[in-house]
Chain A
């Protein structure tokens, strides 16, 4: 008799190339916006940068240190340099742990300072992210806070270790509209104060435009365009970027926009289209697009795109 696990293990394997052959650099002090739709591989990329998942192949270096060479205790200590802000502040806090303790645990896990020093640093951090006076918040449970306050706790927990690099994965997607700008401003303020570098993952181009210095647009596991924010938004090269830009709803009834909305939806990454992955939806596709895969090339100074027929 065959066991269920046998069947499961012997069934044909298919691989999802969630992130496929991408290269990018985040400079110190930069805010790189990683923009794309769901399933484009942007969250996977963020997790790879922190070695929360292992790449199948490829190399990731942080401050000159190759991450794949680190493991065990060494990796744990190294992680204090790089932290993550997660999307859902409710799901990323343990409902039974008081928020002050949740922040202090980050310090105690890295064995930084004595207990009283840890508590002191936590208190200062709470105040720094706007949860003041700290005495009103330290002993509260997550359910006693609003969504915006919880996201502040997540930010405090990431920053209490004094990291150099933060991966922020959709940090405002789950927060109320009127509070979003507040969280963004806080993140920008903290960036200046703590000399941080951000990888800002978002699906919201308008937010990315507001926050980031540089933008990388992802589609089906590939970076299709990257460059300084002004360039990418003013003079987009890749038809997919153009489509994304023209899809954003503009909060101004007088704004008349010419829309180029591609048909269909992002296909499954298990069996991506041959050639350029965007070609089945691209209004400008030519025969070559389904045959050969375009590489990311510099088309204008520091503005790159992976397209045979770049726009503008």
Chain B
């Protein structure tokens, strides 16, 4: 049984102008111990999808329909009490920006104490601090630095603290939303290596939300490519990179420079991602797609199995 199973999830943001479907009928499942890479451009709904697995979507966002099952728990309909037991304990979340996710007037150790004692009220402060020290040293930070404030830490170290907080309650699953976006290349590589190592040693299930195709290629077992709130393609990392099927995936992979390739010519996708308040009819990618057929303008393609992958494109639908 998969650890996480999402069935036709719809998440809307209700605004004055329109109801924006940020995530539209998304289904995917994730086996225990696997790493899923969730890629797409800004505004494609990848962060919203990540947040909805912990029911953390900020208002005016709302899960409208669909099902999320995490380790047998019905996330969409369970009580507030139950979801709190999932957050932190079953699933750790690493938020996008390590600079703003830490409280500037709290010591690093107190972040851990708050986190641990909220979920395990019986733990004494000293024990929580001890656990914080162990966690920090595991992440390559001197344990005595629990008495420092966030501003005394560099960006990379703050991100390590964020990872430590997400792991403090020993969760089964970790969701990392753009964990390296605000970091420099070398620090980025350090954090990715650290995540890979932790995933192995703690046998974590990992969802890595990123726009960085290179990071996905290095870490993920499976990749889901999102476009305008829908999954365009879902498959094994190797197959998806070797033979991308959806025209959007193809274009995305061709627009990223690869330092190991000689004489590479980059291509790009004309136009810009659509406004989700008024998504295009039919296939949402059709206005930017070089292979668009008449059918693509009218009929929305479904995510269908094709070889080992799943792809939502009429080019592969031989009905």
Knowing A250-B217, A250-B258, A251-B217, the reply to whether A178 touches B184 (Cβ < 8 A) is: no
In the complex formed, the residue of A with least CB distance to B275 is A146
Is A68 part of the binding interface, using a Cβ–Cβ cutoff of 8 Å?
no
Query: Shortest beta-carbon distance, B177 to chain A, in Å?
Result: 16
* Residues from 86 to 133 in B contacting A, C-beta threshold 8 Å: none
Min distance, Cβ A263 to any Cβ of chain B, angstroms:
8
Distance from A204 Cβ to chain B, minimum over Cβ atoms (Å)? 8
What are the residues of chain B within 8 A of A37 when measuring CB–CB? Answer: 184-187
> Which residues, 229 to 262 on B, are CB-close (under 8 Å) to A?
237-238, 241-242, 251-253, 255-261
> B281 an interface residue at 8 Å Cβ cutoff?
no
Name the interface size band of chain A.
Answer: 35 or more
Q: Size of chain B's interface in residues, with CB distance under 8 A?
A: 44
B317 within 8 A of A: no
Does B264 interact with chain A (Cβ within 8 Å)? yes
Question: Counting CB contacts under 8 A, is A55 at the interface?
Answer: no
A184-218 interface with B by 8 A CB criterion? 184-185, 203-207, 209-210
Residue in contact with B211 in the complex, picked from A177, A207, A259, A263, CB distance below 8 Å? A177
Nearest-Cβ distance from residue A166 to partner chain B, whole angstroms: 20
Is A250 within 8 A of B260, CB to CB?
A: yes
Report whether B273 and A176 are in contact in the complex, using a CB–CB cutoff of 8 Å.
yes
CA distance A135 to B188 in the complex (A): 43
Residues of A121-148 whose CB lies within 8 A of B = 146-148
Shortest Cβ distance from residue B186 to the other chain A in the assembled complex, whole angstroms: 5
Q: Which residues of A contact B253 (CB under 8 A)?
A: 251
Count of A-B contacts with CB under 8 A?
124
Closest to A210 in B: B257
State whether A249 touches B189 (Cβ < 8 A): yes
**Cross-chain contact B215 with A261 (CB below 8 angstroms):** no
A243 lies within 8 A of chain B by Cβ: yes
Whether B214 lies near A182 (C-beta < 8 A) is no
Chain B residue nearest to A148 in the complex (CB): B272
Given the known inter-chain contacts A249-B192, A251-B253, A262-B186, please indicate yes or no for A178 contacting B41, CB distance below 8 A.
Answer: yes
A265–B187 Cα distance when bound, in Å, is 7
Contact yes or no, A179 B272, CB < 8 A: yes
Interface hits, B190-219 → A, CB 8 Å = 190, 192-193, 211-215, 217-218
A180 to B190, CA, bound (A): 25
Which residues from chain A contact B266 at a C-beta distance below 8 Å? 181, 184-185, 210
B269 at the interface (CB under 8 A from A): yes
B115: shortest Cβ distance to chain A, in Å?
25
Does residue B267 face the partner (Cβ distance < 8 Å to A)?
yes
Q: Which chain B residues (158-206) contact chain A, with CB distance < 8 Å?
A: 184-190, 192-193
CA distance A253 to B215 in the complex (A): 9
Q: How many Å lie between the Cα of A182 and that of B269 in the bound state?
A: 8
Write the chain A residue with the least CB distance to B239: A253
What A residues does B190 contact at CB under 8 A? 261, 263
- Which of B154, B218, B252, B260 is within 8 Å of A265, CB to CB? B154
- Asked if B41 contacts A176 (CB within 8 A), the reply is yes
Check if A233 is an interface residue, CB within 8 A of chain B.
yes
Answer whether residue B291 sits at the interface, using C-beta atoms and an 8 A cutoff.
Answer: no
Chain A residues, CB < 8 A from B269: 178-179, 182
Alpha-carbon distance between A210 and B258 when the two chains are bound, in angstroms:
9
Q: What are 9 A-B interface contacts by the 8 Å CB criterion?
A: A147-B272, A177-B41, A180-B268, A206-B259, A249-B192, A249-B212, A251-B256, A252-B260, A255-B217
Chain B interface residues toward A at CB < 8 A: 41-42, 154-157, 184-190, 192-193, 211-215, 217-218, 237-238, 241-242, 251-253, 255-261, 264, 266-270, 272-273
